[in-house]
Amino acid sequence: MESNGKDGKNGLEGDSDLNFLLNGGDLIKVRSKSWQKSRFIKLMEDCRSIGYPSKKIFKQEKTFLLDDIDSVRPGRQSDGLIKYTDSSEEEKCFSIIFKKKEKNLDFIASSKEEAQQWVTSLEKVVNKMRNLSQKQRSEHWIIEAMRKADKNRDNKMSLKELKVFLKQLNIEVADIYAEELFRKSDKSNSGTLEDTEIKEFYDLLTYREEIDVIYKKYAKTDGEMSTTNLLEFLLNEQREQATMESALKLIEKYEVDETAKQEKHMTKDGFLMYLQHEEGSIFNPAHSSVYQDMSQPLNHYFISSSHNTYLMEDQLKGPSSTEAYIKALMKSCRCVELDCWDGANGEPVIYHGYTLTSKVPFKDVIKAIKDFAFKKSEYPVIVSLENHCTVEQQKLMAHYLISILGDDLVTKPLGNTMPTNFPSPEELKGKFLIKGKRLNKLDAMFSDNNTDEEEMVSEEDEAEDCKEKDQKAKPKKAKIKLAKELSDIVIYCKSVHFSGFEHSRDNQTFYEMSSFKESKAFNLSETSATAFIHHNIDKLSRIYPAGTRTDSSNYNPVPMWNVGCQFVALNFQTPSKEMHINQGRFVQNGFCGYVLKPEFQRSLSSQFDPNSLTNGPWLQKKILHVMVISAQQLPKLKKDKQNSIVDPLVKVEIFGVPADNDSKETHYIKNNGFNPIWNVRFQFAIHVPELALVRFMLEDYDSTSQNDFIGQYCLPLTSVQNGYRHVPLLTKRGDIIPSAELFVHTMLLDCL
């Protein structure tokens, strides 16, 4: 509805980039070599969606929301453009990449300048949408629902339209309540709401009693919060180390009323603005940038890791794609896996061996990794090679790695002497490490006798697993011939077979690392946890999902982190609880893909065993109090069904050492996804807070079948802020749900 003065331009009025998009233009849409057609593309008047006409008869104009755009990529940086366009058109190409599973949109503009204009303009409006405050997002969401409800487009709202609107908002109310809201707002008694009456109605609808109660308790200065009142709130409720100066900064930053700001007061609107921004978030904003010591040896960190990174779907017949690598790297994944096989025309390819998954050229994957490795994090990327190629194609692999990655590839140890420990993430910033087989020991590089000990090496453990599934009888460990050129660029991550912790301690050097199938790793974590932790204090371990997970499902990564494993590799392409936990583990430390392990997992004297807790520095008993208060603007799950309203409930889950694992849930609220209120208190006993994660999960209650997923958010317990906090909600794929949030009160207290 235009009448409330909202046009969606978000402060870009008169902007040349915005006007360019509103005017639109012709682009060539690329689907294949033969399907390349002209389409007129423009930003719609709502400034929230892009539209282009469908050529099919009776089909409406197609649109997609700016909110659904993940990124805009200049040049030929998508699978489609690489395959179906000529390199001479590089500068005229660009792609729109979506957050969900929709296919990318690939375009060719008429000139390099026009392509740049599209990319710049789209990036500007997408970033503007992304940076809206929670209040602005909320208003956008509500205004959009108003527009849909205003069927006759008269910018007025009748009672009938109001009822439709409330259902759009995911709220089922009794007719009497809708009529009461309508009557209160219709000051002119005209039978419709318009102009200021719509604002009145909006304020009534979005009134939050729970905020009112909290605000009134501390607004002791002429009905408003003075700087002293706000400081009292920050100290008493939020348990922050606040000062008068920091309280005043919050007023300057968030107060919307100029008079109140001059008086150094915070009104209720300003207070809500503060609560809905990062200072009022459950996640400690100090942890949203790199705050940990990054100068420790590489093996002292948990490292975000992907399994079979090339796959977009399942392990048997799904597509392999450079896109899968880009998506993983843009989620700060720092260890990617390449299954390398001989391809046609002498060119190595990547796909899942012994299956029908499609093939992607090795060279294209290395280019994509080079282009996207450090866009989200500057810390090192480990390229894990599963090598099944003949020597000739291995030489080509080495050539591509060296020529494409250039000086960023680590081809010799740092320093001039034989290392005795790993370099740190800080020292390896912007660098690539190759994980794979090596023919000789690393110290051969520092002696005159740089001869290879053997030409043959055993095949990777993962390849063995594939064969075991494929062949009934367990074969003898296969050997493959290894090219010296490929062997020589394996420096800090030499793959070796695991024969037991004692054997590793006595026979292997720090840079020799093993991969463990999940069943083997879980068994070791239960039977030899302390030995596993000690192994990981000076060596690296990589865990990977069992070959039987053909649907690309994931195992629970937490028990692997509990024993200090660094590379806990998951199927990044699969939206799952396990990936939510992984995102929760790495959301801290600037989401850089590296998280420093607790000190008790780095010290050789440590006797920590997650399965049977003894006294030690790890044991810091706490009680976590959580009050689930309310939620706001939850998404409709069945958008096509007008009458489908969610019945939300909240689960609070703790993941950590076995003694800390716990889950509690609220009752469900019938027919209200707009502003459900629970006011339910839980408490959790925590023994090892440094390894604990907290997950808030919202579900739509169903008495006859499994509850449907609404949204979730996971974070480390050490990043939780005390007090009244808003919790952002993410989709199954880990993207933010723009308008929705949960409101809670948390308190982490020492056990007496």
**Which residues are catalytically annotated?**
307, 352
Integer Cα distance of 138 and 301 in angstroms: 38
Closest CA to 384 of 449, 483, 448, 310: 310
Q: Parallel, antiparallel, or unpaired: how do β-strands 25-30 and 432-436 relate?
A: unpaired
* The token pair that represents 243 in the structure block: 């000062």
Contact (CB, 8 A) for 326 and 306 = no
DSSP conformation letters of 169-204: TTB---HHHHHHHHHHH-TT-SSEE-THHHHHHHHH
Burial class (CB in 10 A: 0-12, 13-18, 19+), 237: middle
Non-local (6+) Cβ contacts of 46 within 8 A are 8, 144, 147
DSSP conformation letters of 331-352: TT--EEEEEEE--GGG--EE--
Q: How many CA atoms lie within 13 A of 210 on its CB side?
A: 19
H helices of 558-711, in order, are: 558-562, 577-586
Contact (CB, 8 A) for 382 and 493 = yes
* Distances, alpha carbon 39 to alpha carbons 16, 54, 499, in Å: 22, 9, 60
Q: How many CA atoms lie within 13 A of 752 on its CB side?
A: 0
Contact (CB, 8 A) for 412 and 491 = yes
Integer Cα distance of 548 and 306 in angstroms: 17
* The token pair that represents 376 in the structure block: 């989200």
Contact (CB, 8 A) for 308 and 340 = no
Give me the residues paired with residue 677 across strands: 630
* The token pair that represents 568 in the structure block: 């806990």
What is the distance of C-alpha 517 from the center of its chain?
Answer: 25
DSSP secondary structure letter of residue 310 = T
Count of other CB atoms within 10 angstroms of residue 576: 15
What is the distance of C-alpha 301 from the center of its chain?
Answer: 19
Contact (CB, 8 A) for 697 and 650 = yes
Contact (CB, 8 A) for 106 and 78 = yes
* The token pair that represents 262 in the structure block: 């001059």
Q: How many CA atoms lie within 13 A of 144 on its CB side?
A: 19
Contact (CB, 8 A) for 621 and 660 = no
Contact (CB, 8 A) for 744 and 627 = yes
Q: How many CA atoms lie within 13 A of 482 on its CB side?
A: 26
